[in-house]
Amino acid sequence: MTDQPTGKSQAASLEMVARNGSVLRRIAVRIPTYLADIRENPAWLPMFLLARTMPARKAHWLGAKAVRRHENTAPSIFPTADCEQIVDTLRASGLFCGLALPTSVHEEIARFAQQTPCFGNFSRRLEFLPEDHSQAEQRFNRSILSGHYFERALQCEAVIALQRDPLLTDIAEHYLGGQAKMITTRIWWSFPTKAASQADMRLASQDKYHFDLDDWRMLKFFFYLTPVNEDSGPHVYLLGSHKRRILKHQLTLLVGHPANEVLGAYGANNAVTIMGEAGLGFVEDPFGFHMGTVAKRSPRLMMEIGFGVSRPSRRRFHGEPVIR
Ligand SMILES: O=C(O)CCC(=O)C(=O)O
């Protein structure tokens, strides 16, 4: 006699098949990017496999070198920021919020972004001016969730000035150690759109708590270049999750996990939603769980300057995945 599945057990196994299918799709969409990373730098693979485990991370942190002495540094555009206080806050909670870009700087970067064509959904085939977002959706016959500038970001002088600001290097070196080096510079839009595909949502990592594994130790500076409220896709960070990891999240290849699981493990009351005026800057250890949320009504323009401790990847420097 064979066991007949009950309605309940049938529903449970269908749910499991669906969940496994979605996990495989999430891994599959990133495989071309992972293969490109390994080809460019074989040391990326051990990092990717091990840096998610707490023992390997802790061992790696032991290699942090003393901070270098810099002679004749230019004045910072953040004259009142206190490096030591920011680093202490980062160590304790993983997040420091409260940098402010001078108006002239954030306006120059936003103007550059408005006048420069961006690439939709990370695809160089979907090129359009941000003000033409709706027409571009019609022209390409698909919803467009994000618009990236990739290497074009470096055509803007204010971006270069911000990259070179001594405060950013100072904070990165005091937090990550003397090996700290810049590994990313990105500017991108999050656009309100209807019916974004699951694949595009996955690539944009929107509405999904995840941690970053682009290097053993990382620090990211984010700056809002448009005002951000609950309707324009605010960034969310889970305080304290940069130094804890439940075993399940150390032993899986996935970096994104369901909100209920993440909030249950690291505390829903630790979730901070960051909103503010254009020019607001915050710094985070992206090993802590975080996410961008979907822009519901107004677009968000964001800039990131990231630091790590390994040789930067040319492609990852501007956040460009390999898409097929
Ligand atoms: O768009 C955002 O706010 C989040 C970006 C992000 O998740 C990342 O850089 O890892």
Residue pLDDT tens, the chain, 324 long: 334 445 555 555 555 555 555 667 777 777 888 898 899 999 999 999 999 999 999 999 999 999 988 777 789 999 999 999 999 999 999 999 999 999 999 999 999 999 999 999 999 999 999 999 999 999 999 999 999 999 999 999 999 999 999 999 999 999 999 999 999 999 999 999 987 887 777 777 788 999 999 999 999 999 999 999 999 999 999 999 999 999 999 999 899 999 999 999 999 999 999 999 999 999 999 999 999 999 999 999 999 999 999 988 877 888 888 876
Domain around 248: 7-317
Whose alpha carbon is nearest atom 1 of ligand 1? Answer: 292
Q: Is 175 within the bounds of a domain?
A: yes
Whose alpha carbon is nearest atom 5 of ligand 1? Answer: 292
Exposed/middle/buried for residue 167 (C-beta within 10 Å: 0-12, 13-18, 19+): buried
The total number of structural domains that make up the chain: 1
Whose alpha carbon is nearest atom 7 of ligand 1? Answer: 291
Q: Is 322 within the bounds of a domain?
A: no
Q: Which backbone phi and psi does 149 adopt, to 5 degrees?
A: -105, -15
Q: Is 293 within 8 Å of 231 (Cβ atoms)?
A: no
| Ligand 1 mean position, distance from CA 205 (Å) | 7
- Pairwise CA distance, residues 275 & 215, whole Å: 27
Q: What's the confidence (pLDDT) of residue 5?
A: 47
Closest CA to 229 of 281, 299, 291: 299
CATH of the domain at 250: 2.60.120.620
Pocket of ligand 1 (CB under 6 A): 205, 212, 235, 286, 290-292, 302, 304
Pairing of strands 280-284, 181-190: unpaired
- Pairwise CA distance, residues 54 & 196, whole Å: 35
Closest CA to 151 of 160, 142, 143: 160
| Ligand 1 mean position, distance from CA 279 (Å) | 17
Q: Is 205 within 8 Å of 244 (Cβ atoms)?
A: no
Q: Ligand 1: which atom is nearest the Cα of residue 236?
A: 3
Q: Which of 290, 307, 317, 320 has most ligand 1 atoms within 8 Å of its beta carbon, as the pocket-test mutant? A: 290
| Ligand 1 mean position, distance from CA 162 (Å) | 19
- Pairwise CA distance, residues 274 & 230, whole Å: 9
Whose alpha carbon is nearest atom 2 of ligand 1? Answer: 292
Closest CA to 120 of 101, 141, 103, 104: 141
Q: Ligand 1: which atom is nearest the Cα of residue 234?
A: 3
- Pairwise CA distance, residues 149 & 305, whole Å: 14
| Ligand 1 mean position, distance from CA 201 (Å) | 12
| Ligand 1 mean position, distance from CA 79 (Å) | 27
Those residues whose C-beta lies under 8 Å from the C-beta of residue 253, and which sit 6 or more positions away, are 27
Exposed/middle/buried for residue 7 (C-beta within 10 Å: 0-12, 13-18, 19+): exposed
Q: Is 161 within 8 Å of 77 (Cβ atoms)?
A: yes
Whose alpha carbon is nearest atom 10 of ligand 1? Answer: 212
Q: What's the confidence (pLDDT) of residue 11?
A: 54
Residues in the chain: 324
| Ligand 1 mean position, distance from CA 74 (Å) | 29
Q: Is 323 within the bounds of a domain?
A: no
| Ligand 1 mean position, distance from CA 95 (Å) | 14
- Pairwise CA distance, residues 321 & 122, whole Å: 7
CB burial readout 148-166, b (16+ within 10 A) else e: bbbebbeebebbeebeebe
- Pairwise CA distance, residues 137 & 152, whole Å: 22
Q: Is 324 within the bounds of a domain?
A: no
Q: What's the confidence (pLDDT) of residue 1?
A: 39
Q: Is 141 within the bounds of a domain?
A: yes
| Ligand 1 mean position, distance from CA 13 (Å) | 33
Pairing of strands 146-148, 118-120: antiparallel
Q: Is 52 within the bounds of a domain?
A: yes
Q: Is 83 within the bounds of a domain?
A: yes
Looking at residue 298, the DSSP 8-state letter turns out to be S
Q: Ligand 1: which atom is nearest the Cα of residue 233?
A: 3
| Ligand 1 mean position, distance from CA 234 (Å) | 10
Q: Is 288 within the bounds of a domain?
A: yes
- Pairwise CA distance, residues 297 & 61, whole Å: 41
Q: Ligand 1: which atom is nearest the Cα of residue 220?
A: 9
Whose alpha carbon is nearest atom 3 of ligand 1? Answer: 292
